[in-house]
Amino acid sequence: MAEVVQHRIEERIPELEQLERVGLAHIDTVTRNKRIHHVISYEINVLELIKKRRAHIHYQFKREEIEFPIIHRINSIFRRATNKWKDDVQLWLSHVAFCKKWATKGQISKVFSALLAVHPDKPALWIMAAKSELEDRNSSESARHLFLRALRFHPNNKKVYQEYFRMELLHCEKLRKQKQELEKADMDLGEYEFSPEILSGKLAEVVYKDATGKIKEAEFVISLLNIATIFDFTKDLQDSILKDLQTNYKEDSLTWDFMAKRELEAPGAGEELRSAKGRASDINRREEHCCQVYEEGNALQTVCSLVCSQRGLLSAVAAVAMEMKECYLDWSYSTRGYKKARKTFTSLQNNRPLSKAFFTRMIEIEKEQENPKMNNLREYYERVLEEFGTSDDDLWLQYIQEELGPLGQPENCGKIHWRAMKFLEGESVERFTSKYTLLQTGHLLRSN
């Protein structure tokens, strides 16, 4: 081992002499620090020193005589280290980071190729390698090849498909910008490859169809649509994805939730939004469109109710309608405050199907106000008990606890208890009786 180290030191003598002449290092200092586990860090420190002092050195040394040999040697050390400790992914990535920083990008592909040969089971590494080909080496073909290889190992990996889809759109965007710049410069486009298929994003559409053919989930389709919306040339692609979403996943609550939020968050006209009146008009327009989506969900439910073999679908659509009401109530409160939330609640409280969460959320909103009104709380409790009072013993107990709280009137509790015993059915009566007894004896904590 000593002979090997000595031989490597002797090989460096010309370079060390050059370093010493320009005042960047001393031979005795270098040799004292020649320990194997410090080699890489030392070599990189030398490079950093050269980089910092290059502008202040009067001796105009040739870069290839000093920097390039060190860079070459560090690459060699990394290769030997990763060959010995193949499982150390962080070591591989350190090599990649070094190559990026010191302008040896041609080496990056080789490092990733060796890394993926050892760790093909890690999708994140395939994605990193493909991004490097696109961003560091400007090679969309190599990036595409890596994504296709990744999908052979991970045919149903969502993240790989998402990044592949994004890569194709990025490549398309770049080509479109190049074409525009060349046209502005009035240059001949004949020698450049700007086919209509590439410029329109057809390759991204192919990725989308392949991905959604293998991964049949509304959430995944929505994730691809969100990626497409980043790019301003994808209107046709977005329309196609929306159509697929509404056609193939109309029974999924995520679809209707997404569609409703899309209407609420849609951008308004620029000039119109400059005035308060314009902003109010824009919000009303969004709410109206959101309600249209909601009504479409209800219409679908009505159609489904006419079929004795589509009960599963009917149940799913009912869940969508309920979730949309909750989302709309939350949106009204977060964007326009308590008065709008109360107005939304009033308009939807009789529009079935209804969920317990829709009512309890309105109760929470009331209690969040600086001066909550007990009459309003009673109104909400009475309404939710009309819908769920025969089976939900907890609602009755919560109503009683509100009356026992600082805003309520304890004398009303007896009447509420009597009504609960009258309305509750089956086992819920026994549960209510037991919990009410615990509440009276102080063994059930009050919510207030």
With b meaning 16 or more CB within 10 Å and e meaning fewer, what string describes 214-248?
ebeebebbbbbbebbeebeebeebeebbbebbeee
Q: Residue 413 carries which side chain, given as an amino acid letter?
A: C
H helix or E strand, kind and range, residue 158: helix 158-184
Q: Residue 8 carries which side chain, given as an amino acid letter?
A: R
Nearest Cα residue to 26 out of 51, 49, 3, 7 = 49
C-beta separation of 444 from 433 below 8 A: no
Nearest Cα residue to 419 out of 406, 403, 441, 443 = 403
With b meaning 16 or more CB within 10 Å and e meaning fewer, what string describes 309-318?
eeeebbebbb
C-beta separation of 395 from 385 below 8 A: yes
Q: How far apart are CA 322 and CA 304, in angstroms?
A: 16
Q: Report pLDDT for 138.
A: 85
Q: Show the tokens assigned to 197.
A: 């298929």
Q: Report pLDDT for 246.
A: 86
Is the whole model's pTM more than 0.95, yes or no? no
Q: Report pLDDT for 448.
A: 44
Q: Show the tokens assigned to 338.
A: 């308590």
C-beta separation of 300 from 256 below 8 A: no
C-beta separation of 395 from 381 below 8 A: yes
Residue 353 preceded by cis peptide, ω within 30? yes
C-beta separation of 274 from 297 below 8 A: no
Q: Residue 204 carries which side chain, given as an amino acid letter?
A: A
* Per-chain mean pLDDT for the chain: 76
Segments of the chain with pLDDT less than 50:
1-2, 5-6, 9-10, 13, 16, 19, 22-37, 53, 55-60, 269-271, 273, 299, 301-307, 309-315, 447-448
Nearest Cα residue to 327 out of 265, 259, 257 = 257
CA atoms within 13 A on the CB side of 100: 15
Nearest Cα residue to 50 out of 34, 74, 32, 31 = 74
For residue 38, the tally of other CB atoms under 10 A from its CB is: 11
CA 116 to chain centre: 26
Q: Report pLDDT for 342.
A: 93
What are the angstrom distances between the C-alpha of 72 and each of 68, 81, 103, 240? 6, 14, 12, 51
Helical residues (DSSP H) of 194-310, grouped into ranges: 196-199, 202-214, 218-228, 235-248, 253-264, 276-305
